[in-house]
Structure 1
């Protein structure tokens, strides 16, 4: 379906041809106007800075914990399942909250949900920082996730409110650089605090950044209000849709995370909640499509073309790949290469650096070429190929190969991260729908992360248990590993293990195999992502329209 608010190339070709003189006059009229439109008030740049800070804080919080998990789990006497849930609970909170923020911000306006996000994120950071048990730490991460979900999705929605499609790639590159920079610095922050100071500072460090971002938003982000009474706004909200999604999403995620670890796949404890969750999500989909609430959480009508649908599919898969990679590669270096958290953070630097660089470069290439399809295909091909090559990495692999594999994987992940946002925005027919479709893309990306982390947790635990069982009776110094739930908490002890070379090699192979299972799963998903990207169409990027919640005129 062709956007109504932009001219297609065919339609452009049918316009009357201007003479050179007329063209000169036409340009003289347009250039001053375009230049005046490009001038931005001071409040615009302060608003961008607020969004930039929100982006960096949420992205580093989603990656900094993975590398510190072994030390935290060991100190708080947690299990492998609890350690994985410290990460999963954050993503679960984000996933549950995001569609609610998208829907409510369309009705109530952007700022009130944004302020609620700041408050929840700060409160969760405090709970995490003072946690004395894994249960409380997981609760803190969940509350953080509820806040981060709003910050993550609203920063991208607000960016579409205050910029037009023609200029958006350059500002998209700025926000993407913050997200990528946060993803890079996250492992270093986690490693530095857990190894050199105290892991609790992972929570405390959030507070001044959140405070500054909030103050900038409060004083400078002056968005146009929605002309409707508060009671009328409340009636517009999709209450039933929000309830169904809030029940269905965790009901699916929980059994995926504990299958074959806490309970067997065939047990009622796994199958019953999984079936209930699937049924509730199915009911949610039917309700949104058939009833069509005024402000539906899943507005089917706004995804009436193959491009927007395929963008959601690829966004889901990219979220699955990105967050799983950033969680498991640092653990891989600690468990298989016997590195400290700080050394592991340094080892994943090539992947992180190239992800940062190409998440910035991709929208700038689009800004220059006004095209995105070929770039997307290249990103997916690089991601799929080099995820597959990670299966070959072990202790015998040279560091040159490790760095090359990581670097090109980072290129692919970075390109796909930002390039996917352009076609879904270009595909909408009404500029006021742009924020909604961008919000849903973020929701699908984080829902993919939730599914990826849950499924990878299951695969890791199941394969590790089989690998350990195949070794038979273990020596006393590693006997604790007969229970796969202790695999993550035991990683710091691997570096100081006093045993024979033969036993050590067996243990390291037992750790290698579950990571290889995770790489295989991700490679298969990445292949599906590449196939889906083929169906994304090329749209014009020349629209200069601004949505109804743009910045107020100064």
Structure 2
């Protein structure tokens, strides 16, 4: 084990003697040396007691339960819709374009709104911002549940995405407000449980509701959980409010930066989402918004570094080499996560001709392993106390190995291998989901920047997911086209000659009445296309491993709390 450096290689913006003493008041946080435990004055004795890991109040635990419900509901809803969407589109007579927007609208709204939620919560406070997200998500769930047409379904999903962006971000940020860096590994691990369980149950819930009751119950099911979370947070979440007038708060928000990021990220994400699916990569519908989006994002970055007094993502967040490399690794982790969450179930449905529910059941060992390692991986860092650098490297290596082994899967792969091969990938992706939070949060010199770096981390992960899905879709379509073009197919399989229709055609494979020697080469084409995706994610994972070689073990032994701390 390498010795732990004090903040080498740029991870401490100023030497210890140059850092100001801890300040309280409006900022309420600490700029003390991160390697030294903060000394709170006597007026904060209760906060210090809890910061050092002693007994937490009942209100703290009930608030954490409320946050856990929020995290559970966000991850559940995010993974439920893909299974139900074909049935919804069939019942409501939806077009391919409407189905696309019903699927991608949610993720798009999550990505583009999170920078705004980050800025607003720092100025107006975490609780009002979270409540706003919860209310929008509830309205969106209701609109979705009563929809009589695909346009209404899309509108409901958009509202859920706008609200869900706040739910996802605020759950992470509030846990950081409630805990010190020293104890945060424990609570990040505990928060991983509802997040992972929601991701596991989502596809199964979507299949069960769609098959046995009605897809509308996906929306109705959200409402009682939302109500329980809202009541717990309303009565027990005691965060110190941000004390200033509405006029001052409005002036503090970086509205111009928020607008640039909102439009820029949207124009960047949308063409990446539909490239290769709705429009070719070289079409003007893809290239034009993509170029404008890139220019606006660059303009946003330039503006943030030069103009506002309180930027959404201040330049100081990027002064740490460890933080920058962690962000790059997080982008790669998001690409692998979202790509394989989509293509692993599709592989089982296409290549082994399983139902959606059957594929979800076969992936249960992977899902359970992901939960165990998401919880245990980050908690063990706190328990062992030897730093996060080597565990992160080990899990990147495991992710590279696990992704590569998925390429061994094929039409004739035994069931035992289909159950076992994804498990290594699941263990690594689950562990990295939480472990990558530690170097990012440890690298900030001011505890009050923690919310900003969490927002930045989640936005980068979601962008990685969008880019990963776009890249995977392009690779799948390209390999599938080259694999299928030389085959002589009957009329019942003519649809798959258009690679853009290949994914939508998967449910029909089970009902085809064609000889095995005709269907077999088609299944082989599906297998080859998805293996190409797996190999691409293997290469990206190796790049993630490379980034981890240069991060530093910044000390986690810090006990200061921010200005929106939890008040016991």
Q: How does the TM-score come out when normalised to structure 1?
A: 0.90
Matched position secondary structure for 1:224: coil
Aligned partner of 1:2 in structure 2 is 12
Could you say if the C-alpha distance between residues 96 and 33 of structure 1 is closer, same or farther in structure 2, counting changes exceeding 3 Å? closer
Aligned partner of 2:312 in structure 1 is 297
Native 8 Å contact 1:314 1:529 kept in 2: yes
Aligned partner of 1:425 in structure 2 is 441
| Alignment partners' CA distance in 2, 1:157 and 1:283 | 27
Aligned partner of 2:280 in structure 1 is 264
Equivalent residues in 2 for 1:165-244 (5 A)?
Answer: 165-244=181-260
Deviations along 1:373-420, one digit per CA (max 9) or x if unpaired, are 111011111111111221221121122222222111111011111111
Could you say if the C-alpha distance between residues 36 and 524 of structure 1 is closer, same or farther in structure 2, counting changes exceeding 3 Å? closer
How far did 1:354 drift? 0.9
Judge which range, 538-547 or 260-269, deviates more: 260-269
Q: Verify: 1:58 aligned to 2:74, yes or no.
A: yes
Q: 1:248 aligns with which of 236, 246, 264?
A: 264
Q: 2:514 aligns with which of 481, 499, 511?
A: 499
Matched position secondary structure for 2:504: coil
| Alignment partners' CA distance in 2, 1:121 and 1:129 | 12
Q: 1:137 aligns with which of 132, 136, 153?
A: 153
Native 8 Å contact 2:257 2:300 kept in 1: yes
How far did 1:266 drift? 2.2
Equivalent residues in 2 for 1:67-78 (5 A)?
Answer: 67-78=83-94
Q: How does the TM-score come out when normalised to structure 2?
A: 0.88
| Alignment partners' CA distance in 2, 1:359 and 1:125 | 28
How far did 1:494 drift? 1.0
Unaligned runs of 5+ in 2: 1-10, 17-30, 38-44
Could you say if the C-alpha distance between residues 261 and 343 of structure 1 is closer, same or farther in structure 2, counting changes exceeding 3 Å? closer
| Alignment partners' CA distance in 2, 1:7 and 1:430 | 9
| Alignment partners' CA distance in 2, 1:511 and 1:524 | 21
Native 8 Å contact 1:98 1:153 kept in 2: yes
Aligned partner of 2:475 in structure 1 is 459
Native 8 Å contact 1:193 1:201 kept in 2: yes
How far did 1:328 drift? 1.9
| Alignment partners' CA distance in 2, 1:210 and 1:463 | 43
Could you say if the C-alpha distance between residues 440 and 402 of structure 1 is closer, same or farther in structure 2, counting changes exceeding 3 Å? same
Deviations along 1:465-486, one digit per CA (max 9) or x if unpaired, are 44433325x3122223333343
Native 8 Å contact 2:273 2:466 kept in 1: no
Aligned partner of 1:106 in structure 2 is 122
Matched position secondary structure for 1:297: coil
Unaligned runs of 5+ in 1: 13-28
Aligned partner of 2:492 in structure 1 is 477
Deviations along 1:59-79, one digit per CA (max 9) or x if unpaired, are 111222233344444444556
Aligned partner of 1:403 in structure 2 is 419
Could you say if the C-alpha distance between residues 130 and 391 of structure 1 is closer, same or farther in structure 2, counting changes exceeding 3 Å? farther
Native 8 Å contact 2:101 2:154 kept in 1: yes
Q: 2:503 aligns with which of 479, 488, 508?
A: 488
Native 8 Å contact 1:88 1:454 kept in 2: no
Q: Verify: 1:548 aligned to 2:558, yes or no.
A: no
How far did 1:428 drift? 1.2
How far did 1:192 drift? 1.4
| Alignment partners' CA distance in 2, 1:171 and 1:387 | 28
After superposition, the CA RMSD in angstroms is 2.4
**Number of paired residues?**
533
Matched position secondary structure for 2:181: coil
Q: Verify: 1:353 aligned to 2:353, yes or no.
A: no
How far did 1:439 drift? 2.0
Deviations along 1:327-367, one digit per CA (max 9) or x if unpaired, are 22112211211111211110111211111000000122111
| Alignment partners' CA distance in 1, 2:260 and 2:34 | 40
Deviations along 1:50-107, one digit per CA (max 9) or x if unpaired, are 1100001111112222333444444445566655543322211110111110111001
Native 8 Å contact 2:275 2:470 kept in 1: no
Q: Verify: 1:331 aligned to 2:346, yes or no.
A: yes
Q: 1:530 aligns with which of 517, 542, 545?
A: 545
| Alignment partners' CA distance in 2, 1:353 and 1:83 | 30
Matched position secondary structure for 2:312: coil
Equivalent residues in 2 for 1:366-405 (5 A)?
Answer: 366-370=381-385, 371-405=387-421
Aligned partner of 2:335 in structure 1 is 320
Native 8 Å contact 1:464 1:514 kept in 2: yes
Aligned partner of 1:520 in structure 2 is 535
